Amino acid sequence: MRTSRARAEPSAAELSARAWPSWGRLVWVSMRSQNRTFWRNPVPVFFTLGLPLIMLVLFGSLFSWDIDVGFGPIPAAQFYAPALAAFTAANAALSNVGITLAFQRQFGLLKRIKGTPLPPSAFLGGTVVSSVWIALLGTLIMFLAGVLFFDVGIAAAKIPAAALSFAVGTAAFAGLGLALAALSPSGNTAPAVANAVILPMAFVSNVFVPAEDPPDWLRILGDVLPLKHFSSAFSAAFHPAVAAPAWRGTDLAIMVAWGAGGALVAWRFFDWMPRVAGGRRAPKAAAGQA
Amino acid sequence: MNAPSAATPAVAVRGLIKSYGAVAAVRGISFEVAAGEVFAILGPNGAGKSTTVEILEGHRTADDGVVSVLGFDPAAAGREFRDRVGIVLQESTVDTSEVTVAEALDTFGAAYRRPRDRGEVLELVGLAGKEDARLKALSGGQQRRIDLALGLIGDPDLLFLDEPTTGFDPEARRAAWEMIKGLRSLGRTIILTTHYMEEAECLADRVAVLVDGRIVACAPPSRLLGSERATVRFRLPAGAAPGDLPALVAAAVEVDGDRAALSTERPTAMLAELTAWAVRRGIELADLHVSPPSLEDAYLHLIGADGDGNRAN
Ligand SMILES: Nc1ncnc2c1ncn2[C@@H]1O[C@H](COP(=O)(O)OP(=O)(O)OP(=O)(O)O)[C@@H](O)[C@H]1O
Ligand SMILES: [Mg+2]
C-alpha cells in the first residue's frame, strides 16, 4: 500500500459546479449490476428462463393435436404458448425483484447502498428495469421456441397490443415484487412466498390447463388475481378469433391496479436495514441469490 | 478544500442516548472531532461503538441528544451528505457477491460526484491487479480491503471505519495502518472503532474509551492512563510464601507459581520495601524488573477488566 498521493484539491466553486451523475445513468448502472447478479447465479436463471421452457416442451408433447375454433385446424400451442409466456414474464418480474431485494437486504447490500449518494429511486428503478429485461428475454425465448418448434403463428397487426400487455403485466408484477421484498422478513422467506403465490395463482388462472368447469370461488379468485388478466390479454393477441388490434382495456386496468397496490405497500413498508440479528447482516451460512 | 475551518468541528455529539428496548446501548455521551483528526472509539464487545458510529452515519436514529456531522443532521441528511462521507460497516457485505472487484468499484463509484480513480483506490488498499477477481473468491482479509476500497471510492472528507482491521493478519493490519495514516496526511477526518489499544495508539490523535455506553476516558493515547503507574515483577524466592513479604508488597502482589507481579502508583516506595526485605534476608531476587504499564494493561484497567477479571459497572 502506498501512503500518500497529493491530489489537486478542487475549489469549493468547482465542487458545487460539478454535476451529479444523471438519474438515467444511475438507473442504467444499477440495472447492469442486477443483471450480472442474475446471470451469474444458476438458480434464478433456471427458475425464470429454463423451467417455463421445459413446461412448453412438455405441453408440446402432451397436447400435440390441432384445435378448430372455426378457422381450420390450429396447433394447440397457439393457445397455451401465450399463457405460458405470460406466466414466464410474471414470474420473472415478481421473483427477480422480490427475491433479489430481500436477499440483498439480508446480506446488508441495501444498507451499504443507503450509505452512498445513489438515489433509492435509481437503485430500485434499475432493479425493476433489470427484471423487466429478463422477463422480456424469457417471453421472446418462449415465442421463438413456439414459432420454431410448435407452429405458433404471430399476427403483425396485433403485436402492439401484445407489447402493451407485456409492458403493463410485467410492470404490475414488478410492483408486486417490490411489495414481496417489503414484506419478507428475510431473504430465505422470499422465494418460498414467491412460489407459494405464483404457482397456485397460475392454476386458478388457467395458465397450465384450462379448468373444465371450475367451482365459482375458484373462478372468482382467478378473475380477481392479476395473472389471468395478463394471460388473457396476451392470449388475445395470438388468438385467431380475436381481430386486430386486440386491445384489452379491462384486463390492463386490473393489472395496473394490482401493480399500483404493490408499489403502495412497498412505499409504506420497504426498508434498507437487515431485519434479522438486530439490524446487522445475517451470517454467511444462508447463502442465496444475492 | 471546503473542509470546515479548525473552529468548526467535523463531528459534534452532545448528550447522545440510544436504547434498544430495555438495552441502554449509549447512555449520554458527548465528544467533538476536529477536521483532519483521527478519532478512535475503543471499547469491549457491546460497549456501544457501532451504535454510536451508525448514528453518525445516519443508519440509526438517536433517542436523544444533538448530533452534527459535517454540519448535517445525519438522520435527515441526503445526497450532499452521503457524497462526502465514506462508510465501512462492521459487517462485510461482499462475501456472497458474484461481481468482480472492478465492477463493484465502478458501480459504487458511479454514484459520487467526484469518485477516485479505481486503480488508485485498489493500490491504496493493496489489491492492485485484482480487478477481475470475483468478490466471493477473495480471502476474508481481501474482502475486508474491498470494504475499505468501497468506503474510499467516493473520495470522502470524512471516513467511518467500524473495526476496519478485524480479521487481518499482522502484516495486513500494518499495511492498513499505513493506509489510514496516508489518508490522515491528506487531511481526511477519520472516525474508527477498534478493540485493539495498539491500533488506537498507532493511529489516533485522540481515543475515547467507551464502556457500557459511557465514555470513561477521552484523550490522546499517550495520556490515556496515568503514566506513573508501573508494574513490578520478580520471582518469589524458594521457600517464601506471599505472606512473608512486607505488608505493603503483600497487599498488592499477585502470585502465579513463583512469578510475582504487582501494579502500583508508587513504584519507588514499593521497590524500597521489597529490596530492603530481600537484602535483610540475603536473598537475590531473580528476574526483578520494573516496567511501565503496557497499553493493554492500561486499557484493561480503564474498562475495569484488569486484575481478577471483574468488570466494574
Ligand atoms: N439492533 C439492535 N437491536 C437490539 N439490541 C442491539 C442492536 N444493536 C445493538 N444492540 C445492543 O446494544 C449494545 C451495543 O451494541 P453495539 O453493536 O453498539 O456494540 P459494539 O461496541 O459495536 O460491540 P462490538 O465490539 O461487539 O461490535 C449491545 O448490548 C447490543 O447487544
Ligand atoms: Mg460493533
- CA neighbor of B225 nearest in space, from B190, B194, B192, B197: B197
The residue assigned the cell 440509526 is B60
**Chain A to chain B Cβ contacts (< 8 Å):** 115
At residue A1, does pLDDT exceed 50? no
Least distant ligand from the CA of B89: 2
pLDDT 10s digits, A176-229: 999 999 999 888 889 899 888 888 888 888 777 776 777 888 888 888 889 888
- Give the residue, A288 or A151, on which the prediction is more confident: A151
- Residue B295's pLDDT band, with cuts at 50, 70 and 90, is low
Q: Which ligand is nearest to the CA of B60?
A: 1
Q: What is the pLDDT of residues A85-110, one digit of tens each?
A: 999 999 999 999 999 999 999 999 99
Give B140 Cα–ligand 1 centroid separation in angstroms: 23
Short-list B242, B248, B238, B255, CA closest to B276: B248
pLDDT band at residue B55 using 50, 70 and 90 as cut-offs: very high
Of chain B, the percentage scoring pLDDT greater than 70 comes to: 92
Average pLDDT, chain B: 87
pLDDT tens-digit readout, B66-114 = 999 999 999 998 899 999 999 999 988 887 888 999 999 999 999 999 9
Nearest CA-CA distance, residue B43 and chain A, Å: 19
Average pLDDT for chain A: 83
Task: For residue A2, report the distance from its CA to the centre of ligand 1, in Å.
Answer: 34
Residue A270 Cα to ligand 2 midpoint, Å, equals 25
CA-based nearest residue in chain B for residue A31? B107
Contact A117 B79 (CB under 8 A): yes
Cα angle B149, B155, B161 (rounded to 5 degrees) comes to: 55
Mean pLDDT, residues A54-68 taken together: 78
Is a pLDDT exceeding 70 seen at residue B197?
Answer: yes
Beta bridge pairs of residue A66: A75
Strand ranges of the sheet holding B254-256, from the earlier edge strand across to the other edge: B254-256, B259-264, B230-235, B289-291
Nearest residue, CB atoms, B96 vs list A9, A29, A107: A107
Q: Cβ A3–B179 below 8 Å, yes or no?
A: yes
Looking at the CA of residue B26, tell me the nearest atom of ligand 1.
14
Partners of residue B260 on adjacent β-strands: B234, B255
B290, pLDDT greater than 80:
yes
User: Are A284 and B114 a contacting pair at CB < 8 A?
Assistant: no
User: For residues A177 and B36, what is the distance between their CA atoms, to the nearest angstrom?
Assistant: 45
pLDDT(B16) > 80:
yes
Per-residue confidence (pLDDT) for residue B306, from 0 to 100: 54
Identify the bridge partners of residue B19 per DSSP, sorted by sequence position: B24
Compute, in angstroms, the gap from residue B24 CA to the centroid of ligand 1.
10
Put simply, the answer to whether B111 touches A108 (Cβ < 8 Å) is: no
pLDDT for A220: 87
Mean pLDDT lowest for which of A236-245, B61-70, B82-91? A236-245
| Closest C-alpha residue for ligand 1 atom 26 | B45
Which atom from ligand 1 is nearest to the alpha carbon of B163?
27
- Catalogue the long-range contacts made by A280-286 (C-beta closer than 8 Å, 24 or more residues apart): A280/A108, A280/B90, A280/B91, A281/A106, A281/A107, A281/A108, A281/A111, A281/B91, A281/B93, A282/A106, A282/A107, A282/A186, A282/A187, A284/B95, A284/B96, A286/A106, A286/A186, A286/A187, A286/A188
Mean pLDDT of A103-128: 94
Contact A264, A175 (CB under 8 A): no
Stretch A274-279: mean pLDDT: 64
Residues of B in contact with A109 (CB under 8 A): 93, 97
Confidence of residue B19 (pLDDT cuts 50, 70, 90): very high
Identify the residue with better confidence: B106 or A59: B106
Q: Which of A7, A36, A107 comes nearest B93 by C-beta?
A: A107
- For residue B143, which of B199, B196, B104, B86 has the smallest C-alpha distance? B104
pLDDT band for position A17 (cuts 50, 70, 90): low
Between chains, do B113 and A3 touch, taking CB under 8 Å as contact?
no
For A125-162, write each residue's pLDDT tens digit. Answer: 999 999 999 999 999 998 888 888 877 777 777 788 88
Supply the ipTM of this predicted assembly.
0.83
The residue ranking higher by pLDDT, A91 or A10, is A91
The chain B residue lying nearest A110, using CA atoms, is B93
Domain spans, chain A: 22-276
Predicted local confidence at residue B311, as pLDDT: 42
C-alpha cell of residue B74: 445525519
Q: How many CB atoms lie within 10 A of CB B187?
A: 13
Residue A107 touches chain B, beta carbons under 8 Å: yes
CA-B47 nearest atom, ligand 1: 21
Ligand nearest to the CA of A281: 1
Q: First CA to last CA across chain B, in angstroms?
A: 45
pLDDT at B52: 97
Confidence label for B58 from pLDDT (cuts 50, 70 and 90): very high
Q: Which pLDDT does position B226 carry in this prediction? A: 59
Give the model's pLDDT for residue A51.
Answer: 87
**pLDDT at A283 (0 to 100):** 46
Identify the top-confidence range among A235-239, B120-124, B218-222.
B120-124
Q: Which of B17, B19, B23 to mutate to test the pocket of ligand 1 (most atoms within 8 A of CB)?
A: B23
Q: Is residue A281 very low, low, confident or very high in pLDDT (cuts 50, 70, 90)? A: low
Q: Which three cell numbers stand for residue A88?
A: 414466464
Residue B4 has pLDDT above 70, yes or no: no
* Paired sense of beta strands B158-162 and B189-194, if any: parallel
The pair phi, psi for residue B92, each rounded to 5°, is -70, 150
Residue A75 has pLDDT above 70, yes or no: yes
pLDDT of residue B223: 79
Distance CA A147, CA A244 (A): 19
- Ligand 1: list residues with CB < 6 Å: A 278-279; B 20, 23, 25, 43, 45-51, 90
Q: Is the pLDDT of residue B187 over 90?
A: no
Nearest CB to B87: which of A19, A36, A115? A115
